[in-house]
Amino acid sequence: MKIALMMENSQAAKNPTILKELTSVTEPLHHEVYNVGMCDEHDHHLTYIHLGIMASLLLNSQAVDFVVAGCGTGQGAMMSLNVHPGVVCGYCLDPSDAFLFNQINNGNALALAFAKGFGWGAELNVRYIFEKAFTGSRGEGYPKERAEPQQRNASILNDVKQAVVKDNYLDTLRSIDQELVRTAVSGPRFQECFFNHCQKTDIADYVKSLLD
């Protein structure tokens, strides 16, 4: 699995801590982690709005399989990511959130709070969140006797979102302020991850046109 880590400006100082805990869990599982920003307060400036655009591009182009995002409360990141087609982002404050999202919703992104409740032992909480998010089977339901309706409803919700967002994926991006999109794709680590692993030529061409 390819996993992208992204954080907005107010929480950039915590990036090394989050990256350390994420890699400590995922490296033994042979997952690849791409730290696409922000890595510190002086890095390419991103808001949670940019995170949604970045996650959308990485997931819809199949450059990565999963996104870990975050902001101060996690709420802005979750809303920003869920605006976009092809992104199913859960809100995660503790390990049980990660486990239940994994089993019931089986989405492709998590939004974490990196300020609210981020006190003593926070790095342990984050590590245990990642353990529940990236170990074991996904989408099996919880409790087990609820598995069938949960799997059915998760699929229906994905269909509803696809129906609501009727435009071509690239048309949705072109309808956004292009300066927002250009800023979102301007970071060197994002570009490295995106262009090295993008599976969709039309999406890659669009991003190149912004950078040109």
| Domains of the chain (ranges, CATH numbers) | 2-211 (3.40.1400.10)
- Is the distance from CB of 203 to CB of 61 less than 8 angstroms? yes
The CA–CA distances, whole Å, from 53 to 57, 69, 95 equal 6, 12, 26
For residue range 6-28, list pLDDT tens digits in order: 999 999 999 999 999 999 999 99
For residue range 162-206, list pLDDT tens digits in order: 888 877 999 999 999 999 999 999 999 999 999 999 999 999 999
- Is the distance from CB of 50 to CB of 36 less than 8 angstroms? no
Query: Where do we find the tokens 């400006």?
Result: 9
pTM, entire model = 0.95
